[in-house]
Chain A
Amino acid sequence: MCGQCGFILNGTGLIGQLLTASESAMVHRGPDSTGFALYGEELAEDMIIVRARLARGVDPDIAIENIEHNVTAVRGRFVSEPQMTNGVNGSGTFLRILVNCSEPPALLLDAIESVEGTYVHSMGRRLEIIKDVGTAEEVAACHGILNFIGTHGLAHSRLATESTVDVELSHPFWARPYLDVAIVHNGQLTNYYKMRHLMSQRKLKFLTENDSELIAVYIAEQLSEGKTLREALWKSIAELDGVFTYLLATDTAIGCATDPLAIKPLVVTEVGSTVAMATEEQALRQVFDTELVTEYVREGSVTVWPVEAATEREKSAYSA
């Protein structure tokens, strides 16, 4: 089943609070785990926010020391003391590290993950992925999601179908090693192994064996080659096989693609300049008091909503 939602605000606001309220209404669609992809204020060039988890049983102090040592080895440095949060029901230690590094993100990623028991959830100038086992309310309360201020974001409650209940296998997924690209996905791919084989030949890497992570990397690779988000999404409909209605976020837009049968629904509404989308209509109505004009995303279609704060040039690129 899975329940997903996304919001684009007019400017900045309490994005975490909106996503939590909306996702809480869809707990019945996926009680296993919940995740958020939040986009905050943009950092300066060279600054990267790293969100990661240390496995249960790993000593956080020693691990952080090792991570800092490895980051220094790739000419990076910690900008501030890493923030540590204990996960829901002892699911590990969650880290938020602000790093200054001008090397390619892939190098930094390898440096951090070479410390045993460290799993990087996201890296970006604005993107922060927080995911944990538990319901939306539990995860939000534990990780301070409700106070997060940002421009847009995605959230997802997962009902595990293809793989086990696990923090790393929860959505959203980060398109490693591409900064600021995140995905939430409802459905399952049937040509996963074929696609993964082809992509591995192009030296693309994955943290998990989850099909949704593959879509994120697939789209991010095309964006890095200069394709627009809209073009990349259309290509995915032609090349991916199976069931999918997914939301892909970058720092400037949220895009959606559906397979030709679109059995997984997505309802979209616009209230003022706020765009909101969710698997179930009632999840949107938890957030807005006014009566809504809603629209279901069509089968085999692509939609792109630019983030208000994006520059005019970027907007025109997405509408092309």
Chain B
Amino acid sequence: MPNDTSTETQLPEIMPDAVHIDAEGLDAQELNRQLRNLSQFHSYVVVHNPRARHNLGIGLESSSCEIHFLGSVGYYCGGFNAGANIVVHGNAGWGLGEAMASGRIVVKGSTAWAAGAGMRGGTIIIEGDGGPRTGIAMKGGDIFVIGSVGFMSGFMAHRGKLVALGGAGDALGASMYEGRIFVAGPVASLGADALERELDEADLRELSKDFEQLGLPWPQEPIRKIEAEGRLWYFDKHEGRIWRSI
């Protein structure tokens, strides 16, 4: 998947009173401890040199603080997020915002596998592309992807909403429960039990409200809504064929 560059020049010109931390030389535990403390007393915390290291910004509490990572982050960034605002000025590795409960994570670049895996609430915004299995087993919350998402995105989503504006890979929405996927652009294939449904008035209202709040442009291509048909909700051993997703 294409990724974009991230340089320090992309940092917005806000945050005159920001606190700066250099991640170099700090282990992830110590860095997260500092982030938890600082985010309670400051409006902006800027983390330099994340260097795609893993487990950054884990378990942060709710606050009005914005935490900026200047560069790419590794696996599980923003995991167990309980209300923090995180901005990644780069790409994010595997499992971004895994099991987050609330808060918001914005990624300026692209994400690897399984962004928002098992998330229960909050919002993830990916400005580049989402990798395969984006929103896997999500149980709530919203994921917005400006680019495309990879194969098996929305796999086994229990609840929540995944919006992809640049298309999707194979087996989109395979084996879903009550999650919803909105996708614009080409979809390689739908997964087992995934069904395209008409967008109703309520959907359109909800989406246009989201887009307005997030400042996203309405996509040129029509938006399709993917939901579970419900055939897999009750197991029947004679139906082995419909369980296959790829």
Please give the residue numbers on chain A whose beta carbons come within 8 Å of chain B beta carbons, in ascending order.
Answer: 260-263, 265, 280-282, 284-286, 291-296, 298-299
Find out whether the CB atom of B246 lies under 8 angstroms from the CB atom of A281: no
Q: How many residues of B contact A (CB 8 A)?
A: 27
The interface residues of chain A lying within 8 Å CB-to-CB of B4 are 293
Q: List 6 A-B contacts (CB under 8 A).
A: A265-B113, A282-B74, A292-B72, A294-B3, A296-B131, A299-B132
With A260-B246, A280-B93 given, is the CB distance from A295 to B74 under 8 Å?
no
Q: Which of B7, B8, B51, B246 contacts A282 (CB 8 A)?
A: B51
CB distance from A287 to the nearest CB of B (A): 11
Interfacial residues of chain B within 197-246, with CB under 8 A of chain A in the complex: 246
Measured CA separation A293–B8 after assembly (Å): 14
The answer to the question of B37 belonging to the interface, with a C-beta cut-off of 8 Å to chain A, is no
Measured CA separation A261–B132 after assembly (Å): 9
Closest to A285 in B: B51
The interface residues of chain B lying within 8 Å CB-to-CB of A280 are 52, 54, 74-75, 93
* Residue-wise interface mask of B (150-161) relative to A, using a CB-CB cutoff of 8 A (1 in contact, 0 not): 110000000000
Measured CA separation A15–B90 after assembly (Å): 28
The interface residues of chain A lying within 8 Å CB-to-CB of B189 are none
The interface residues of chain B lying within 8 Å CB-to-CB of A265 are 94, 112-113
CB distance from B63 to the nearest CB of A (A): 27
Find out whether the CB atom of B112 lies under 8 angstroms from the CB atom of A291: no
Measured CA separation A292–B3 after assembly (Å): 10
* Residue-wise interface mask of B (6-22) relative to A, using a CB-CB cutoff of 8 A (1 in contact, 0 not): 11100000000000000
Measured CA separation A172–B165 after assembly (Å): 42
The interface residues of chain A lying within 8 Å CB-to-CB of B51 are 282, 285-286
Measured CA separation A295–B74 after assembly (Å): 14
User: Which of the listed residues B1, B90, B91 has the most CB atoms from chain A within 10 Å of its own CB?
Assistant: B91
CB distance from B47 to the nearest CB of A (A): 14
User: Which of the listed residues B75, B94, B132 has the most CB atoms from chain A within 10 Å of its own CB?
Assistant: B132
Measured CA separation A284–B52 after assembly (Å): 9
Please give the residue numbers on chain B whose beta carbons come within 8 Å of chain A beta carbons, in ascending order.
Answer: 1-8, 51-54, 71-72, 74-75, 90-91, 93-94, 112-113, 131-132, 150-151, 246
Find out whether the CB atom of A282 lies under 8 angstroms from the CB atom of B53: yes
Smallest CB-CB A-B distances: 9 pairs: A282-B52, A281-B52, A285-B51, A282-B74, A285-B52, A282-B53, A293-B5, A291-B7, A294-B3
Closest to B150 in A: A299
Measured CA separation A295–B112 after assembly (Å): 10
CB distance from B217 to the nearest CB of A (A): 25
With A260-B246, A291-B7, A299-B132 given, is the CB distance from A282 to B54 under 8 Å?
yes
Q: Which of A260, A285, A286, A291 contacts B5 (CB 8 A)?
A: A291
The interface residues of chain A lying within 8 Å CB-to-CB of B113 are 263, 265
Closest to B70 in A: A291
Find out whether the CB atom of B7 lies under 8 angstroms from the CB atom of A295: no
CB distance from A256 to the nearest CB of B (A): 15
Find out whether the CB atom of A281 lies under 8 angstroms from the CB atom of B132: no
Measured CA separation A283–B75 after assembly (Å): 12
The interface residues of chain A lying within 8 Å CB-to-CB of B90 are 291
CB distance from A293 to the nearest CB of B (A): 5
Q: Which of B54, B91, B131, B150 contacts A294 (CB 8 A)?
A: B91
Measured CA separation A291–B49 after assembly (Å): 10
Find out whether the CB atom of A295 lies under 8 angstroms from the CB atom of B3: yes
Measured CA separation A295–B128 after assembly (Å): 12
The interface residues of chain B lying within 8 Å CB-to-CB of A263 are 113
Measured CA separation A262–B150 after assembly (Å): 11
Measured CA separation A285–B91 after assembly (Å): 13
CB distance from A310 to the nearest CB of B (A): 27
Measured CA separation A270–B7 after assembly (Å): 16
The interface residues of chain A lying within 8 Å CB-to-CB of B7 are 291
The interface residues of chain B lying within 8 Å CB-to-CB of A296 are 1, 3, 112, 131
The interface residues of chain A lying within 8 Å CB-to-CB of B131 are 296
The interface residues of chain A lying within 8 Å CB-to-CB of B54 are 280, 282
Question: What 6 new A-B contacts, CB under 8 Å, besides A282-B93, A284-B52, A295-B1?
Answer: A265-B112, A282-B54, A292-B5, A293-B5, A294-B3, A296-B112
Find out whether the CB atom of B3 lies under 8 angstroms from the CB atom of A293: yes
Find out whether the CB atom of A281 lies under 8 angstroms from the CB atom of B72: yes
Measured CA separation A41–B72 after assembly (Å): 36
The interface residues of chain B lying within 8 Å CB-to-CB of A282 are 51-54, 74, 93
